[in-house]
């Protein structure tokens, strides 16, 4: 046992050195034989585009607000007013499919006591709101239609938004323009850096449509002597953004 333990240290470590040398040799042979390639260099570009077109339709939300001492009276008055508005819309040529109830509510109304008073709030009546959403497919009729809606009894408007009946074409044009912009950027950057574009490895498109925001609720009052409501539709803008990744190599 003493003779084995007193053997030179170099004799004990020799097999380990041989094993380590074999591993290094095997790795070198693997690399020379075409082992796993290093990750390819890439170039990432972001293309953006904006495409606009005049809208060809509008969505209007309007309705009536009525108050009365009892819920039945407030509801009856409101129902008649809304029925008159709907009848006026149909008489103006709006199809039933383009008229839909957007909101309906009945709320109790209470008196507000003075700060120094100990009296509890008292029920003084009820408020009924009923609104309809109208799709207008001919913008030339929008101004006169607004007049008729007010004259028929509507006293509130909570939104007017313009849109496109077929927005898909504008989306496609914006996406294509964003891709073209990204490709042009990639070519310019590659030429400046002295590299060659080999292939596209990733395309991530995004689109955002811009539409007018609905207006806050406002009171409306009929006035038969005034002119038709002026309406300016402007344009609908669609924004597209595309992220493209290219593999590149030295020239």
Residue 153 shares a structural domain with residue 184: no
Higher pLDDT, 56 or 29: 56
Instruction: Determine, yes or no, domain membership for 15.
Output: no
**Domain at 155, CATH number:** 3.30.70.2970
Instruction: Determine, yes or no, domain membership for 220.
Output: no
Instruction: Determine, yes or no, domain membership for 222.
Output: no
- CA proximity to 228, closest of 154, 152, 142: 142
Instruction: Please write the tens of the pLDDT for every residue from 170-207.
Output: 999 999 999 999 999 999 999 999 999 999 999 999 87
pTM: 0.63
When the pLDDT of each residue in the chain is averaged and rounded to a whole number, the result is 80
Instruction: Determine, yes or no, domain membership for 203.
Output: yes
- CA proximity to 63, closest of 224, 251, 219: 219
Instruction: Determine, yes or no, domain membership for 23.
Output: no
Quote the number of domains for the chain: 2
Residue 87 shares a structural domain with residue 135: yes
Question: What is the Cα–Cα distance from 110 to 125, expressed in whole angstroms?
Answer: 7
Residue 46 shares a structural domain with residue 130: no
Residue 154 shares a structural domain with residue 181: no
Residue 67 shares a structural domain with residue 98: yes
Instruction: Please write the tens of the pLDDT for every residue from 131-170.
Output: 999 999 999 889 889 999 999 999 988 888 999 998 899 9
Residue 95 shares a structural domain with residue 152: yes
Domain's final residue, options 139, 163, 187: 163
Instruction: Determine, yes or no, domain membership for 138.
Output: yes
Domain's final residue, options 163, 185, 200: 163
Residue 130 shares a structural domain with residue 159: yes
Give residue 101's domain range.
57-163
Question: What is the Cα–Cα distance from 85 to 62, expressed in whole angstroms?
Answer: 9
Question: What is the Cα–Cα distance from 99 to 34, expressed in whole angstroms?
Answer: 70
Phi, psi of 217 (to 5 degrees): -55, 140
Residue 47 shares a structural domain with residue 135: no
Question: What is the Cα–Cα distance from 99 to 135, expressed in whole angstroms?
Answer: 7
Per-residue pLDDT band at 37 (split at 50, 70, 90): low
Domain's final residue, options 128, 163, 198: 163
Instruction: Determine, yes or no, domain membership for 7.
Output: no
Residue 103 shares a structural domain with residue 195: no
């Amino acid at each position: 046992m003493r003779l084995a333990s007193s053997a030179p240290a170099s004799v004990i470590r020799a097999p380990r050195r041989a094993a380590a040398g074999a591993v290094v040799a095997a790795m070198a042979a693997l690399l020379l034989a075409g082992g796993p390639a290093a990750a390819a260099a890439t170039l990432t570009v972001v293309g953006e585009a904006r495409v606009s077109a005049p809208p060809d339709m509008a969505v209007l939300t309007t309705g009536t607000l009525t108050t009365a001492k009892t819920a039945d009276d407030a509801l009856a008055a409101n129902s008649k007013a809304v029925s008159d508005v709907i009848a006026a819309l149909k008489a103006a040529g709006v199809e039933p499919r383009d008229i839909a109830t957007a909101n309906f509510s009945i709320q109790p109304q209470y008196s507000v006591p003075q700060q120094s008073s100990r009296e509890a709030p008292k029920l003084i009546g009820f408020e009924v709101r009923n609104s309809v959403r109208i799709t207008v497919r001919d913008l030339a009729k929008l101004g006169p239609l607004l007049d008729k809606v007010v004259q028929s009894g509507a006293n509130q408007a909570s939104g007017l938004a313009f849109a496109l009946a077929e927005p898909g074409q504008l989306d496609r044009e914006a996406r294509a323009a964003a891709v073209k912009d990204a490709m042009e950027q990639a070519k310019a950057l590659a030429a400046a850096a002295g590299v060659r574009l080999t292939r596209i490895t990733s395309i991530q498109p995004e689109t955002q449509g811009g539409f007018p925001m609905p207006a806050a609720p406002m009171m409306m009052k009929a006035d038969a002597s005034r002119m038709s409501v002026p309406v300016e539709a402007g344009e609908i803008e669609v924004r597209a953004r595309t992220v493209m990744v290219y593999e590149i190599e030295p020239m």
